[in-house]
Amino acid sequence: MLVLLSFTAWPNVSGSSSSSSSSSSSNSSSSMDDTVVSLSKGSRVWYKQDAETWLLAEIKENSNGKPSVVLISGHPGKLLQGVELNRLVPANPELQQAIADLTQLSYLNEPSILDNLSQRYSGECIYTNAGPVLIAVNPCKHLPLYTSQVADQYKAGAFEAVNQLDPHIYLVAGAAFRDMVRQGTSQSLVINGESGAGKTETTKKAMQFFAALAGGTGVEGQVLETNPILEAFGNAKTLRNHNSSRFGKLIEIHFNKTNHICGARIRTYLLEKSRVVHQLKGERSYHIFYQLVRGTSDNTQREALRLPGKPSEFAYLAKSGCTDIDGVDDAANFAEVLEALSDIGLSPADIHALLSTLSGILWLGNLRVEPVHADDSSRIKNDSALSNAASMLGLREKDLTYALTHKKIKTRDELIVKPLTAQEALEARDALAKALYAGVFTWIVAAINHKLDMGKKASGRFIAILDIYGFEQFQTNSFEQLCINYANERLQQQFTRHLFTLEQEEYETEGIDWTKVEWVDNQACVDVIEAMPPKGLGVLAVLDSQCRFPKGSDETFMHALSDALSANDHFGTDPRRQGEFFVNHYAGPVSYNSTGFLDKNKDMLNADLVQLMETSSSPLVTSIAATTADEIEGRRGGQTVSSRFTQQLRELVSMLDATGLHFVRCIKPNAKLAAGSFTSELVLQQLRCCGVLEVARVSRAGFPTRYRHADFVQRYKILLPREQQGMVLHNDAEMRAAVVQLLAVFKVPPGQYEMGRSKVFFKPGVLGYVEDTWAKMQASVLKLQAYTRMFFARKRFQQHRAAAQLLQSGWRGRVARLQFARDLRQHKAAVCIQRHYR
Ligand SMILES: Nc1ncnc2c1ncn2[C@@H]1O[C@H](COP(=O)(O)OP(=O)(O)OP(=O)(O)O)[C@@H](O)[C@H]1O
Ligand SMILES: [Mg+2]
């Protein structure tokens, strides 16, 4: 009887067979999530109000293929008639709200994912799984999620898989540790997200967890102390994040044979040097500069470091109009940094040299360059700024002024000295400041690595944490954005490939034909950026070749780019936007302005300035000179910023490939980092950029939901013929047959599922459909039962009533007859009495 009940027909797939081709299966699979499966009255759907806004609604009526819906969110109760089908996608049942793993959602479309995250966020659940990926939404406030009690709960999970634990960064860190111990292989946590999304905080939480989990040797404290140092030297206030990391970093935490932390190694990528000399309005330079000026309390030391009263007296710090951060105490942070510096083994003399160099860099910004109109040369004003800069950098004043105002040019036969214009001298000054700061940063990282070197105790196993800048797209995008987006493109590729491999392993174990799944990665876009001959010419190869041409310029670069790549779908130029080209990234097209590309890629520091640094009496400055000289030598040998970055990226990717990967995607809930606010459009854009939707896409391409045969039969066996229901299924073959029989009851076409050895795998939305149908069947059965019960109850009632009426009428008849007899007797008696009386 149940099988005869009518329910929504299977969409788009009637007549499809089990041998459906890959494309047809993937097409129908995507349709499952993005088109409305059931338009029957009462189905929940998402209504697309505009490009970014989805409203929850319910189908009211669907008579002519253009349903009417009633809004549930936005304007609750509002009726919209004749809605276009392409504005509707299915919504998950009410039951599936705020669930901890997105891939468990019946429908994995964008509004459903967004809604789930938003509901969890409002319940202060900032962590959600998307299959093997952890999504961490920045809470923008302190939450009691990292107490020692919480850490203790998750520590247990680090030794054996514990299912009941909610998603958490500790859970991911614990799983990485467990995999390292069990499999004996190194692991990596790849943390990604846009600026302010919480990557660095998440990295710190993971490091703290590892220290709590595998500390004991004392090194873990030093490893944690690298955080304040790296943040002071590499972080700055930007408009998007008051503690923004202006470099990418990879921290390897090394373990000894007893699985305790025994050391660490830090690698850094692309420090934003230009911030030292220039910041946008409202932004700051690196924290350490403000800390130095505000936190040096000893007067003698202030004198020795030539520090003025406040940061704004330094031109490099004053120009942006911002020297403070709300709620941040630079002086207190400086004390912490000084302590950490000495803990990592820097001597007081080293620290003094470091601080002097920082002060010298700041004084360089105060140098005043005056034009000499007679011969278009320039000179540097002889004032306290000059003496302070020279003294702090261990240079002679005359050497400094000469090097900043002259340039030696080598011709074939002689060495010519060319005086620089005021503008050129200012550029030389800024270049020196940037080179010195970059050198200081490299030196600090080297000092940390020296201190944390794991030595002989290391087992060779480590857990690496990658805190790297996310995809960037601004109004104007330059060389730096191209490098950052290239890194993201490579990491995204690795992410998709890895997830796919994981899926593949399970399919292979279950004996499922993998070739049915269609999947494309972003190799084409990676090639547009990095291809080298003979594979082709990518943007970076074209750039490098232009840097080698003596007459290469940003214009010739644009021409060469158009020649090499104009036929490529992932590359484009617009004749109306001169000097710009765009690349079609996985996260969307980004337009790059080619101005300055060549100079930034060459990054050549004038050799005279390197020679100047070599004359310094400060060992720190001379060591920076030596490193810079090596780099320049490399540049002469054809090494450019991009070629070095490409090399670093290759090494990074192959290192990650050799480890077990764990992905964390950080999400910024709103642009202002205000607690409690969740801006759907912004989140959606990040979900697209950081590849969470990619996880959904990869899942969609395959069979994301699965059920063990036995569980499936147990749940739906009531739908089998009565004689089969009580049967004990002895072996796999019987079990499989029962599953297939049940799926036929649900009218699921064979192409929508695959039978594995122990599990049945479903295309996206199929399980949702099965559950919906099951719910409708149950509702129909209930209705039927209710009507049947009503029928019998009514019948019984009518019989009872008829019987009661019969009884009542009989009784009433008897009572009436008795009454009549009594009345008659009384009447007769009365007549008799009257007769005798008369
Ligand atoms: N788990 C968290 N708990 C509390 N606050 C957090 C958390 N994660 C992030 N925040 C807040 O958000 C701010 C920005 O986070 P963070 O500096 O980690 O971002 P980021 O992704 O590293 O950004 P950038 O790319 O600019 O370096 C932090 O300063 C902190 O105030
Ligand atoms: Mg950061």
464-487 pLDDT, tens digit per residue, is: 999 998 888 888 999 999 999 999
Catalytic residue, from 68, 195, 442, 449: name it. 195
Cα 579 to Cα 558: distance, rounded to the nearest angstrom:
7
pLDDT of residue 13: 31
pLDDT of residue 21: 31
Quote the Cα angle for 830-831-834, to 5°: 85
Cα 360 to Cα 519: distance, rounded to the nearest angstrom:
55
pLDDT of residue 168: 97
C-alpha pair distances (Å), 275 with each of 268, 486, 610: 17, 21, 21
466 token code pair: 């990658």
Residue identified by tokens 């459906």 is 20
Are the beta carbons of 173 and 187 closer than 8 angstroms? no
Q: Residue type at 443?
A: W
Q: For 728, what's the count of Cα atoms within 13 Å in the CB-facing half-sphere?
A: 1
27-49 pLDDT, tens digit per residue, is: 333 444 555 556 777 888 999 98
Higher pLDDT, 631 or 258: 258
Q: Choose among 437, 652, 634, 424: nearest CA to 544.
A: 634
435 token code pair: 């080179």
Which pLDDT band holds residue 675 (cuts at 50, 70, 90)? very high
CA of 310 to the centre of ligand 1 (A): 28
C-alpha pair distances (Å), 201 with each of 61, 192, 422, 558, 655: 49, 12, 44, 40, 23
What count of residues does the chain have? 838
Is 460 an annotated catalytic residue? Answer: no
Rg (CA), the chain: 37
- Look at residue 645 and tell me whether its pLDDT is greater than 50: yes
The dihedral sign for the CA sequence 766, 767, 770, 772: negative
Please report which residue ranges of 262-329 form alpha helices under DSSP H: 287-295, 299-304, 315-318
Least confident piece of the model among 97-101, 250-254, 630-634, 741-745: 630-634
- 827 contacts: CB under 8 Å, gap ≥ 6: none
pLDDT of residue 163: 62
Q: For 200, what's the count of Cα atoms within 13 Å in the CB-facing half-sphere?
A: 21
Cα 495 to Cα 664: distance, rounded to the nearest angstrom:
11
Percent of the chain with pLDDT over 70: 92
Is 508 an annotated catalytic residue? Answer: no
pLDDT of residue 10: 38
Structural domains present in the chain: 1-33+703-838 (3.30.70.1590), 364-435 (1.20.120.720), 479-603+640-657 (1.20.58.530)
Cα 730 to Cα 711: distance, rounded to the nearest angstrom:
14
Which pLDDT band holds residue 700 (cuts at 50, 70, 90)? low
Q: Choose among 478, 476, 484: nearest CA to 194.
A: 484
Q: Closest ligand 1 atom to the C-alpha of 242?
A: 29
Q: Which of 248-257, 370-379, 680-689, 771-780 has the highest mean pLDDT?
A: 248-257
341 token code pair: 């510096």
Mean pLDDT, the chain, whole residue set? 88
Mean pLDDT, to the nearest integer, of 400-421? 89
Are the beta carbons of 669 and 141 closer than 8 angstroms? no
Cα 425 to Cα 437: distance, rounded to the nearest angstrom:
18
706-719 pLDDT, tens digit per residue, is: 788 888 888 888 88
Mean pLDDT, to the nearest integer, of 438-463? 90
- Look at residue 654 and tell me whether its pLDDT is greater than 90: yes
Cα 594 to Cα 580: distance, rounded to the nearest angstrom:
6
Residue identified by tokens 């209705």 is 783
Residues near ligand 1 with C-beta < 6 Å? Answer: 138-140, 142-143, 193, 195-201, 241, 243-245, 469, 666, 673
Tell me phi and psi for residue 258, to 5 degrees.
Answer: -95, 15
pLDDT of residue 28: 35
Is 109 an annotated catalytic residue? Answer: no
Return the best residue to mutate from 127, 209, 239, 243 for the ligand 1 pocket (most ligand atoms within 8 A of CB): 243
Return the best residue to mutate from 201, 280, 665 for the ligand 1 pocket (most ligand atoms within 8 A of CB): 201
313 token code pair: 């007296």
Q: Which of 36-40, 158-162, 320-324, 529-533 has the highest mean pLDDT?
A: 320-324
- Look at residue 263 and tell me whether its pLDDT is greater than 80: yes
Q: Choose among 203, 139, 174: nearest CA to 468.
A: 203
pLDDT of residue 694: 67
Q: Is 199 helix (H, G, I), strand (E, B) or coil?
A: helix
Are the beta carbons of 40 and 62 closer than 8 angstroms? yes
Is 195 an annotated catalytic residue? Answer: yes
* 138 alpha carbon, closest ligand: 1
Percent of the chain with pLDDT over 90: 61
Cis status, amide bond into 419, omega within 30 of 0:
no
End-to-end, the C-alpha distance of the chain in Å comes to 85
